[in-house]
Amino acid sequence: MPANELHETARALVAEGKGILAADESDSTIKKRFDSIGVESTEENRRGYRDLLFTTDGVQDYISGVILFDETIRQSSADGTPFPELLESKGIVPGIKVDSGAKPLALADGETVTEGLDGLRGRLEEYRSLGARFAKWRATYSITNDKPSEYCTWANAHALARYAALCQEAGIVPIVEPEVLMDGTHTVERAYHVTSRVLNAVYTELFDQRIDLEGTLLKPNMVLSGYEASDRAGVEDVAEWTLRCFYKHVPAAVPGIVFLSGGQSDEDATAHLNAMNKRGPHPWQLSFSYGRALQAPALKAWLGKPENVEAAQRAYYHRAKMNGAARTGMYAPEMEREAVTA
């Protein structure tokens, strides 16, 4: 595996004006999303919903890659084309979620460690043969007065680096995802300090475990006030705090930072990304790898009904286009009206 294939894939995923769709909801998460629109989570409904997203015309202008779930990478479009092949034919890079979820961390009440390292080398080999060229592993950290602990911070960083090393060995670009959760009443300053400590641990472990940073992407949270905080930071403050944090802790060798949306409204996620890119250029590409913020309007438009497929595709296309504009700081809230008048 020439090292530059990893570099090329990582760079392609953060190509100008484009970002990643996270469509890798686990069975329990997609069930929650379907419950919210009254649709049963059957294998065929999950396949049909992902088919709708992946066959959206022209979305490849704004979407560089799609993260799939184990079930989805083995499924096919209505015409029988396997999903990875369909995506590749549109110039979209197929990716795969490979962790098996955040589980209680032993002797650390209320904290988690992400599992999935056992047997990962073999699974990566299979996923690559199915077409995956990048992967995702998500670690989560909750903020309270005394959390996350150093133990939780370093245990997750160590696992993220072990995952990243196995990916690079297999010729797969690792997306390293340390997510500091924004539930709670904490201030934006507290989110800044916790995110800083987490990133410091992650890049220490990545360095120690010999990771080639140019063949990786970082998928972090933005630095936000807790969702239940009384006085929440506005768009410009979020951009300032987030950039300050990443300038201090993310090496310039990393080609791109692809933010998760983490429960922000779809328009907030776009506005925050836009505000950061307006302050560019930066040492790395600043892009998106959104799940909910790209899919929420499409899910609502779809409601599981075949006659709504086109409306759902229009909604998804519109969000992808808005986030594509935010990649270069060219987004303006007035552009949202296009969805209504289209």
Which spans of this chain sit near ligand 13P (rule: CB under 6 A)? 22, 138, 177, 260-262, 290-293
Residue 219 among the catalytic residues:
yes
Buried b (16+ CB within 10 A) or exposed e, 193-210: ebbbbbbebbbebbeebe
Nearer to ligand 13P, 261 or 274 (CB): 261
100/107 Cα distance (integer angstroms):
20
How far apart are CB 328 and ligand 13P at their closest, in Å?
A: 20
Q: At what angle do helices 27-35 and 43-54 cross, to 10 degrees?
A: 80
Residue 177 among the catalytic residues:
yes
Nearer to ligand 13P, 94 or 291 (CB): 291
List Cβ neighbours of 255 (8 Å cut-off, separation of 6 or more): 7, 10, 11, 14, 214, 216, 217, 284, 285
Nearer to ligand 13P, 81 or 183 (CB): 183
Classify 245 as helix, strand or coil: helix
Q: Of 97, 136, 219, 321, which is the active-site residue?
A: 219
Q: Of 25, 177, 179, 205, which is the active-site residue?
A: 177
Nearer to ligand 13P, 26 or 81 (CB): 26
Name the token pair of 309.
């497929």
Name the token pair of 281.
């250029």
How far apart are CB 78 and ligand 13P at their closest, in Å?
A: 25
Residue with the closest Cβ to ligand 13P?
291
HSE-CB of 203 using CA atoms within 13 angstroms = 20
In this structure, the number of other CB atoms found within 10 A of the CB of residue 140 comes to 20
How far apart are CB 31 and ligand 13P at their closest, in Å?
A: 15
How far apart are CB 24 and ligand 13P at their closest, in Å?
A: 6
Signed CA dihedral, 312, 68, 128, 213: sign only: positive
82/102 Cα distance (integer angstroms):
29
How far apart are CB 80 and ligand 13P at their closest, in Å?
A: 28
Nearer to ligand 13P, 152 or 273 (CB): 273
Catalytic residues: 177, 219
